[in-house]
Amino acid sequence: MTRLCKAFDVHRSSYKYWIKRSRTVNPKKLNEQLLVKTIFSESNGSAGARTIADIATQRGTSLSRYRAGRLMKACQLHSCQQPKHRYRKAKQEHVAIPNHLNREFDVMEPNKVWCGDVTYIWVGKRWAYLAIVMDLFSRKPIGWAMSFSPDTRLTSDALSMAFESRGKPKDLMFHSDQGCHYTSRKFRQQLWRYQIKQSMSRRGNCWDNAPMERFFRSLKSEWVPSIGYESFTEAKHEIIDYIIGYYSQVRPHRHNDGLSPNVAEEKYWNEYKTVAKKT
């Protein structure tokens, strides 16, 4: 036996422990494993040992987090909590593009000031990025794009969608933060072609682009699941439903005196046509 253990690189004490192991089925352990699997499945794979132990204890089966962790390991269960996301911060301020907007977020008519930003969404096992262009008049998202790379192409696609869908307006300002996808030569050339004036927040000052930050907060707190989406297709479909359906058409906005962005813009254009007829 010593030769066999040596040949298979198994310690003799481990072999003796294996020989003396209990060969009977432990019904208590099986029930605990079943309970752990059930709780884990209910959480869509997000619950860790501590959470599972708390839920199991509430349901009448007392488990410590260490016991729950061992049961999870035996069942080959691994929590899929979202990792923390880290943005690269600009080392210096982009002085070539000043803050023309200067927090003047109350705009009197559509297609005068747009703002944009990029956020991250957990999709499957990685981050996806969502770029939004918003009209500050009604806080309506008018352009968007999603991809797995937070690059210039992402923000350019969102801007192109907004520019085409709004009928290529003139005398327009676009405001954003100092992300590299907005300071790149390609994006600035696109703004130049569209004859759009560029404005940028001060470095590290989220309040300079507060309406966009507020929109992303609403999106994530009201719509995006806490554990993200299972696929990129699902994420894109659900987020577009939020933008076009719930947020723009249904959700009341304090800035619009309780009206949704679509209704606020419709009201403006109806009043605009009435004034135009009178004059």
The predicted-structure confidence for 221-265, as pLDDT tens digits, reads as follows 888 988 889 999 999 999 999 999 899 988 888 898 888 999 999
CA gap 221, 257 in Å, rounded: 22
* Domain identity same for 157 and 51: no
* Domain identity same for 139 and 242: yes
- Start-to-end CA distance of the chain, whole Å, equals 105
Look at residue 54 and tell me if it is in a domain.
yes
* Domain identity same for 118 and 61: no
CB atoms within 10 A of CB 107: 18
The alpha carbon dihedral of 109, 114, 115, 117 has a sign of positive
| Per-residue confidence (pLDDT) for residue 268, from 0 to 100 | 92
Look at residue 125 and tell me if it is in a domain.
yes
* Domain identity same for 49 and 148: no
* Domain identity same for 62 and 118: no
pLDDT at residue 44 greater than cutoff 70: no
Look at residue 10 and tell me if it is in a domain.
no
* Domain identity same for 126 and 31: no
Total domain count, the chain: 2
* Domain identity same for 68 and 118: no
CA gap 193, 70 in Å, rounded: 61
103: left (phi over 0), alpha (psi -120 to 50) or beta: left
* Domain identity same for 129 and 248: yes
User: What's the domain range around 51?
Assistant: 26-81
